[in-house]
Amino acid sequence: MSDLTVDVAVVGAGPAGLAAAVAAAEAGAVVAVVDAGTQTGGQFWRHRPETGDADPDGHGHHDWNTFLDLRRRFRAGIAAGRVHHLPGLQVWMASKNDVDGFTLRTTRTVVGGEGVTPTVHAARLVLCPGGYDRQLPVPGWDLPGVMAAGGIQAFIKANGALPGKRFVVAGTGPFLLPVAANIAEAGGEVLAVLESSSLSKWFPHWKAAASVPGKALEGAEYAGIFARHRIPYKTRSIVTAVSGTDRVQTVSWAKADADGRAIPGTGGRYEDVDVIGFGWGFTPQMELPLSFGVQTRLDADGSLVAVVDERQESSVPGLFLAGEVTGVGGAVLAVLEGKAAGTAAADASAVVLPADVLPAKEAARRDRHRRFAQAMHQAHPVPHAWQEWLTPETLVCRCEEVPVSEVTQARSTLGAEDSRSLKSFTRVGMGWCQGRVCGFAGSCLGAGPGEPAAAASLASAAKRPLAVPVPISELASLND
Amino acid sequence: MSSVDRDVRFTFDGRELAAEPGQTVGAALVTNGVTAWRGTRKEGRPRGLFCGIGVCFDCLVTVDGVANQRACLVELCEGMDVRGTLAGDETEETR
């Protein structure tokens, strides 16, 4: 087994991970960066293979110049021998002991490549695993052609192509706007963007919103794209069902009341839909932080996130966290948190003060973005009454094909009110994705109609003995 | 895109297809009109791309004989032999 020993290990090479790696290396640390992707950028700056286009222009991206600057400094770190870039690898087990510090065991993201995968030893660890679109089940969401909103965007960014011709984008949150804009700019037809919330929910938060003028500019840019492509943006609107034989054909929608309940007699249908993209905010990837037993909290969006101090250090000494795992807040915030985490992690004496990890101006910017994120979460909540959309046959767990009826029965007759009991009684969250997709919805269903998911249930849904599926040979090598 | 660009040839369940260089296996299938390739274990229901970023494992496919690869992450290579599990062929492995 090949081993690599460094001062600081970073997991993830998206906005937070790149910034952390660059900050740690520039502070003098030797850094290893483990990333599932084959090239840096993460989901936010996902782009076409650099092998084909070494210098993409960043069309359709935001803060692309920030990426180019971080990538240039990252490459300078590699050239100086201070940064070891380990792309195409995922951490399947992370551990800590008092003698050796942190150990990361890796496996290949995809088939291919020769030889053993490296094990990384590090004195300090920065986890920047990011997040993915949060999903709520809806009748028919298991049909091909239903995608995560972010999955459509990733498809466009990585492949320079569209997964269909006619699209509907639905869910809640500002992220639906860039997804629809990317589709339209790539030549796709967006039949509608269905936003469950009412934009008036932003009014109580106008101060937080106005303090981040960049977001208003982005909003104006999307408004321009929507007008140019005549994309209908319907608020207080939800998808009630997706239907078709063997693939999406029809999307039924309705206007929603203040709780997100479909109002009878409203709405209509979109026909000949190729792809519908859903996004209900984001789920932070918590399995690695949870494997260390970090202290957690429920954020305003209902997500389980980790508690960190001003230096981004978790409740586990030497373990730093940045980006969505400390609260979903977008790329600008992730870069600032990554910079703070990387700077703090580079310091072996662990005495670096909060003021030294981020200059006052950047710390203030970080705080403004955090307030903006809180406002966003409150303006775009998961609809209170979303469980009323479901039919008994709607699948909760796509992997194990567990319908709503089995979950509600386990709750009412067996008292299964959390993801762990539901898993043992119904196999919900037990398949290939290990509850990544249905963990939130399953926890809500366990809690009961209109109830938020409990932190303990979300934590047990996201706790995974193995962070990613791994070949038996990797497990066997633990004995070497 | 022009047909000239679609110059990576591969097979899907024995059928010869072509796609643009640099695309993932999932994108190569979808742009060829193949929207589903995995059959679910219990009901044999069709599945294709869902999360698109390697999280959901819905798009699993066999690539050059190696089962359970995420089509949304594997980059297409010339001559790849891609196989799904929809054609009544229950080869999906359980862990």
A42-86 per-position pLDDT tens digit = 999 999 998 887 777 788 889 999 999 999 999 999 999 999 999
Query: Cα A253–A429–A292 angle (5° rounding)?
Result: 120
Question: CATH topology for A3-131+283-358?
Answer: FAD/NAD(P)-binding domain (3.50.50)
Instruction: Please determine whether the domains at A3-131+283-358 and A135-280 fall in the same fold group of CATH.
Output: yes
Q: If interface means Cβ-Cβ distance under 8 Å, which residues of chain B face chain A?
A: 1, 20-24, 26-27, 30-31, 35-36, 40-43, 45-58, 60, 63-64, 66, 68-70, 72-75, 95
Residue of A nearest to B24 (CA): A159
3-state secondary structure of B43: coil
* pLDDT at site A116: 82
Please write the tens of the pLDDT for every residue from B4-44: 455 899 999 999 999 999 999 999 999 999 999 999 999 99
pLDDT by residue (tens digit) across A127-158?
Answer: 999 999 999 999 999 999 999 999 999 999 99
Fold for domain A390-462? Arc Repressor Mutant, subunit A (1.10.10)
Decide: helix, strand or coil at residue B82: strand
Average pLDDT, chain A: 94
CATH architecture of the region A135-280: 3-Layer(bba) Sandwich (3.50)
Chain B residue numbers with beta carbons less than 8 Å from the beta carbon of A398 are 47, 50, 56, 58
Distances in Å between the alpha carbon of A292 and those of A119, A233, A331, A464, A467?
Answer: 17, 43, 25, 11, 12
DSSP-assigned letter for residue B29: H
- CB < 8 Å to A147, chain B: 49-52
Residue of A nearest to B86 (CA): A246
The owner of tokens 């050059």 is B64
Q: Which residue of B has its CA nearest to A53?
A: B22
Domain ranges in chain A are 3-131+283-358, 135-280, 390-462
Could you tell me if A430 and A438 are in contact, meaning their C-beta atoms sit under 8 angstroms apart? no
Q: Which CATH architecture has domain B8-83?
A: Roll (3.10)
Give the C-alpha separation, A19 to A8, whole Å.
13
Q: What is the pLDDT along chain A (480 residues), one digit of tens a residue?
A: 589 999 999 999 999 999 999 999 999 999 999 999 999 999 999 999 988 877 777 888 899 999 999 999 999 999 999 999 999 999 999 999 888 799 999 999 997 766 789 999 999 999 999 999 999 999 999 999 999 999 999 999 999 999 999 999 999 999 999 999 999 999 999 999 999 999 888 888 888 888 888 888 888 899 999 999 999 999 999 999 999 999 999 999 999 999 999 999 999 999 999 999 999 999 999 999 999 999 999 999 999 999 999 999 999 999 999 999 999 999 999 999 999 999 999 998 877 777 789 999 999 999 999 999 999 999 999 999 999 999 999 999 999 999 999 999 999 999 999 999 999 999 999 999 999 999 999 999 999 998 999 999 999 999 988 888 887 777 777 765
ipTM of the shown complex: 0.94
Residue with tokens 């090598």: A477
Least CB-CB distance to B49: which of A51, A111, A147?
Answer: A147
Distance CA A341, CA B63 (A): 39
Please name the member of B31, B51, B69 whose beta carbon is closest to the beta carbon of A133. Answer: B51
